[in-house]
Amino acid sequence: MSIDFLISVLQDIENPKKVNRNKAAIIVLEQPYLIEYLVDLTFKVDDKISIKAAWILEWICTHYDIIYLSPYMDKFTKGLPDLTIDGALRCCAKICENLAFIYTSKEDTIAKQWITNVHIDAIIETGFDWLITDQKIAVKAYTMTTLFLFGQYRDWVHPELEHVIATSVIHESKGCKARGKKILDLIAKNKKV
């Protein structure tokens, strides 16, 4: 089986209902080599199939185990700046948030060994780009959390994030304003520690 098989699986997905995403994820996980193709298709930015690939990649990372992404972290982080389709952006922003949660967890997880400084820096850089450009609320919300979490390991991130939220994001939709206020409160608490 090959990338053509994966494309046929993705094309059969009618909508992002949980049952559809889970069914496709199980097919991919039964043949784990397909995950590399899934990552490739997620970043095929000129093709609508990237949305469906991103749905399944996100589902695997959030409902099964993010470790499946580990061999493809270089490819994943390098592809982030090229994303343009809203659905794929949202999924990848959520994956980045999950990576940040896992990396900053107090638990000693294996993820801390395969999420490198290069990956973190690429996610941070792309995250700031997403915050200052016209993106949907979910992308900005996931990104603010990601930047806050990874900012605990980069001195310059919190002041920059605070500035972007206060001067731009906080003046956007109610959802952005609410998440922005929450992140500003977390930054303020983090300064006191």
Positions of the chain with pLDDT lower than 70, given as ranges: 1, 193
pLDDT tens for residues 155-172? 999 999 999 999 988 788
Q: pTM for this one?
A: 0.95
Core vs surface per residue 158-191: b (16+ CB within 10 A) or e: beebbebbeeebbebeeebeebbeebbebbeeee
**What pLDDT does residue 105 have?**
92
DSSP H/E element including 179: helix 174-192
pLDDT for residue 1: 59
Q: Could you give the domains of the chain?
A: 3-192 (1.25.10.10)
Amino acid 144 reads: M
**Helices in 43-115 by DSSP H: which ranges?**
49-59, 73-79, 86-104, 111-114
Q: What is the pLDDT of residue 193?
A: 65
Q: How far is CA 85 from CA 49, 79, 99, in A?
A: 10, 13, 21
Position 139 scores a pLDDT of: 96
